[in-house]
Chain A
Amino acid sequence: MSNMVTQRNGIHRFFLQLGSKWAIIFLILGAILFSIISPGFLSFNGIQVILINSPFILLLALAETFVIITGGIDLSVGFVMGFASVVSAKLIALFVVMGMNDLFSIITGIVITLVIGIIPGFVNGVLVARLKVPPFIATFSMLGITHGISELLIKGVVAKNMPVLAGKIGNGSLIYIVPGKTVSFFIKPLIQRGGNLIEILPTVFVIPFIFILIFAFILKRTKFGQHTYAVGGNIDAAIRAGIDVKNHLIKIYMLSSLFATIAGILYVLRYITGKADAGTGFLLDGIVAVVIGGASLYGGIGSVWKTIIGCFIILVLENGLRMLGFPTFYKYILVGIVLIFAVLVDKLFPELIHKED
Chain B
Amino acid sequence: MNNNKNSTLSVSQRLQSILAKNWAILFTLIIILIFSFTGKRFFQLANFQNILHLSTIYLLLTASETFVIITGGIDLSVGFVMGLSSVLSAKIIELLHAANFPPALSISIGSIVALIVCIIPGLINGVLITKYKVPPFIATLGMMGIANGMALIISEGFPVAYLPRVLPNIGNSYLIYILPGKAISFFSKPKGIAGEEIKELIRIIPNSLIFISIIIFILWHILKNTKFGQHTYAIGGSMDAAVRAGINTNKHLIIIYVLSSFLAGLAGVFYVFQTGIGIYTSFGAMYELLAIAGVVIGGASLMGGKGGIIGSVIGVFLLGVIENGLHLSGVDPFFRYIAVGLILIVAVIIDQSFPDLL
Q: A132-B352, A134-B302 are in contact. Are A340 and B128 (CB under 8 A)?
A: yes
Stretch at the interface among A104-112, A141-149, A205-213, A235-243: A141-149
B296 touches A144 (CB 8 A): no
Decide if A291 is an interface residue (CB 8 Å cutoff): yes
Stretch at the interface among B24-32, B47-55, B233-241, B341-349: B341-349
Stretch at the interface among B138-146, B168-176, B194-202, B203-211: B138-146
Decide if B292 is an interface residue (CB 8 Å cutoff): yes
Decide if A92 is an interface residue (CB 8 Å cutoff): no
B138 touches A298 (CB 8 A): no
Decide if B135 is an interface residue (CB 8 Å cutoff): yes
- A126, B30: Cα distance in complex, Å: 29
Decide if A39 is an interface residue (CB 8 Å cutoff): no
Q: A147-B337, A333-B150 are in contact. Are A141 and B145 (CB under 8 A)?
A: no
Minimum distance in angstroms from A269 CB to a CB of chain B: 23
B141 touches A287 (CB 8 A): yes
Stretch at the interface among B96-104, B266-274, B328-336: B328-336
Decide if A336 is an interface residue (CB 8 Å cutoff): yes
Using a CB-CB cutoff of 8 Å, which residues 317-331 of chain A contact chain B? Answer: 327-331
Residues of chain B with a CB closer than 8 A to A152's CB = 332, 334-335
Decide if A133 is an interface residue (CB 8 Å cutoff): yes
- Interface readout for A278-289 with B: 1 if CB under 8 Å, 0 if not? 001100100110
Stretch at the interface among A20-28, A166-174, A214-222, A341-349: A341-349
- In-complex Cβ contact of B142 among A131, A328, A340 (8 A): A340
- Interface readout for B26-64 with A: 1 if CB under 8 Å, 0 if not? 000000000000000000000000000000000000000
- Interface readout for B300-313 with A: 1 if CB under 8 Å, 0 if not? 00110000000000
Residues of chain B with a CB closer than 8 A to A340's CB = 128, 134, 138-139, 142-143
Q: Which residue of A lies closest to B296 (CB)?
A: A137
Residues of chain B with a CB closer than 8 A to A144's CB = 337-341, 344
Q: A148-B336, A298-B135 are in contact. Are A143 and B145 (CB under 8 A)?
A: no
Minimum distance in angstroms from B348 CB to a CB of chain A: 5
Minimum distance in angstroms from A38 CB to a CB of chain B: 20
Q: Which residue of B lies closest to A137 (CB)?
A: B348
B157 touches A141 (CB 8 A): no
Decide if A301 is an interface residue (CB 8 Å cutoff): no
A337 touches B146 (CB 8 A): yes
A137 touches B344 (CB 8 A): yes
Minimum distance in angstroms from B321 CB to a CB of chain A: 16
B143 touches A149 (CB 8 A): no
Residues of chain A with a CB closer than 8 A to B143's CB = 336, 340
- A297, B73: Cα distance in complex, Å: 13
Decide if A156 is an interface residue (CB 8 Å cutoff): yes
Q: A75-B289, A142-B341 are in contact. Are A335 and B138 (CB under 8 A)?
A: no
Decide if A44 is an interface residue (CB 8 Å cutoff): no
A131 touches B349 (CB 8 A): yes
- A347, B138: Cα distance in complex, Å: 13
- A271, B237: Cα distance in complex, Å: 49
Residues of chain B with a CB closer than 8 A to A224's CB = none
Minimum distance in angstroms from B146 CB to a CB of chain A: 4
Using a CB-CB cutoff of 8 Å, which residues 101-140 of chain B contact chain A? Answer: 128, 132-135, 137-139
Q: Residue among B135, B332, B337 with the most chain A CB within 10 A? A: B337
Residues of chain A with a CB closer than 8 A to B342's CB = 141, 145
- A336, B334: Cα distance in complex, Å: 31
Minimum distance in angstroms from B86 CB to a CB of chain A: 16
Residues of chain B with a CB closer than 8 A to A309's CB = none
Minimum distance in angstroms from A253 CB to a CB of chain B: 14
Decide if A102 is an interface residue (CB 8 Å cutoff): no
Q: Residue among A136, A147, A151, A329 with the most chain B CB within 10 A? A: A329
Residues of chain B with a CB closer than 8 A to A280's CB = 283-284
B284 touches A297 (CB 8 A): no
Residues of chain A with a CB closer than 8 A to B137's CB = 73, 297
- In-complex Cβ contact of B344 among A140, A288, A334 (8 A): A140
Residues of chain B with a CB closer than 8 A to A351's CB = none
- Cβ contacts A to B, 11 pairs, < 8 Å: A131-B352, A137-B302, A147-B334, A147-B337, A284-B144, A284-B145, A297-B137, A333-B146, A336-B146, A340-B143, A343-B132
Given contacts A144-B337, A339-B142, 11 further A-B contacts (CB under 8 A): A140-B289, A144-B344, A145-B337, A148-B337, A148-B339, A284-B145, A291-B141, A329-B148, A333-B149, A339-B141, A347-B133
Binding site for A on B (CB under 8 A): 74, 128, 132-135, 137-139, 141-146, 148-150, 152-153, 156-157, 283-284, 289, 292-293, 296, 302-303, 332, 334-342, 344-345, 348-349, 352
Binding site for B on A (CB under 8 A): 73, 75, 127, 131-134, 136-138, 140-145, 147-149, 151-152, 155-156, 277, 280-281, 284, 287-288, 291, 297-298, 327-337, 339-340, 343-344, 347-348
Q: Which 7 A-B pairs have the closest CB atoms?
A: A336-B145, A144-B341, A333-B149, A148-B337, A148-B338, A332-B149, A329-B152
